[in-house]
Amino acid sequence: AAKTRNDGAVVYDAAMDKSSDKSLSLLTELRNAIERNEFRLFVQPKIMLDTGQVVGMESLVRWVHPERGNVFPDEFIPFAEQTGFIRLLTRWVMEKSAELCQQLAAQGHHLKVSVNLSTRDLLDQDLPVKFADLLARYRLSPGSFCLEITESAIMDDPVRAQTTLERLSNMGVDLSIDDFGTGYSSLAYLKRLPVNELKIDKSFVLNMENDEGDTKIVRSTIDLGHNMGLRVVAEGIESEAVWRLLAELGCDQGQGYFMSRPIPGDQLVAWLEKWRA
């Protein structure tokens, strides 16, 4: 139903079907959401499993929609990726993450902030330059950022992904493979890419104290990561038993509802004070 005019503008005719009607309005709503300040930066603490020290946080976006209320990322991130809107959203998340990181540092909390990247971000040639500019504006070292990439985002276009990741890595930022074990299983990229961290997907962690198969997968992933000189992080820790088991297996860091759900960024200092107490 969309037609491109000879001046390049896309026009939609009345015969447009319902689903494209819906997605057109979702895209409009997403675009407006940035201007209307409807996105919120939530963060989830990342913790050393041996000492309990908080060393980082993962930025997770929330959309507070005027009518629909809290919209979770699973409901709009895939759409944002398809339409390319994700690039704007990623820049928003990076900006807010840098701002929070700087505020926390000023209060003596030096946490590394992890930001999720999508396929589209990896194909964005401007990303490394924009990122360097961000670091300069907030006077942050590249080491205060970790960028999380999924295996499937890499495998979408491995050659271009590698180029972008090498440029980012050369700047000194940490790179993490997210949802490890759930994507295309090509371990070869682990050898080639300048990765610092492996994140074990929560599907293997959630119920691992009752599931021998999960425990074996987690144990092997920790060993694989360590053999390759990587930091290993587990997500989805919902109980003390799982924390203890992961610590015994030598997993370096973890995050999960047992320690904290994702919370609004401006509530993190209060959370940190309680955690230390």
Interface positions, 55-114, toward ligand C2E (CB under 6 A): 59-61, 72-74, 77, 86, 93
Say how far apart CA 36 and CA 149 lie, in whole Å: 28
| Binding status of residue 45 toward ligand C2E by CB under 6 A | no
User: Binding ligand C2E by CB under 6 A: which of 179, 197, 214, 252?
Assistant: 179
| Binding status of residue 179 toward Ca ion by CB under 5 A | yes
Say how far apart CA 74 and CA 78 lie, in whole Å: 7
| Binding status of residue 151 toward Ca ion by CB under 5 A | no
Taking CB within 5 to 8 Å according to partner kind, which of Ca ion, ligand C2E, none is near residue 215? Answer: none
| Binding status of residue 174 toward Ca ion by CB under 5 A | no
Q: Are 237 and 203 in contact (CB under 8 A)?
A: no
User: How many contiguous H segments (helices) and E segments (strands) does the chain have?
Assistant: 12, 12
| Binding status of residue 153 toward ligand C2E by CB under 6 A | no
Interface positions, 243-262, toward ligand C2E (CB under 6 A): 255-257, 262
Listed residue (227, 234, 178) closest to 208, CA to CA: 234
| Binding status of residue 121 toward Ca ion by CB under 5 A | no
The residue whose two tokens read 């682990």 is: 190
Which strand (E) or helix (H) includes residue 263? strand 263-264
Q: Are 8 and 17 in contact (CB under 8 A)?
A: no
User: Binding Ca ion by CB under 5 A: which of 44, 59, 90, 116?
Assistant: 116
Residue placing its CB nearer to Ca ion in the complex, 116 or 253: 116
| Binding status of residue 237 toward ligand C2E by CB under 6 A | yes
* Count of residues in contact with Ca ion, rule CB under 5 A: 4
| Binding status of residue 151 toward ligand C2E by CB under 6 A | no
User: Binding Ca ion by CB under 5 A: which of 29, 124, 174, 178?
Assistant: 178
Residue placing its CB nearer to ligand C2E in the complex, 93 or 127: 93
Name the token pair of 103.
């505020």
The single-letter DSSP state of residue 260 is -
Say how far apart CA 157 and CA 164 lie, in whole Å: 11
| Binding status of residue 214 toward ligand C2E by CB under 6 A | no
| Binding status of residue 176 toward ligand C2E by CB under 6 A | no
Q: Are 259 and 45 in contact (CB under 8 A)?
A: yes
The residue whose two tokens read 């209320």 is: 69
User: Binding ligand C2E by CB under 6 A: which of 96, 100, 111, 118?
Assistant: 118
Residue 175 contacts by C-beta under 8 Å, 6 or more apart in sequence? 146, 147, 149, 165, 168, 169, 193, 194, 195, 196, 197
The contact set with Ca ion (CB under 5 A) reads 116, 148, 178-179
The contact set with ligand C2E (CB under 6 A) reads 44, 59-61, 72-74, 77, 86, 93, 116, 118, 178-179, 202, 235-238, 255-257, 262
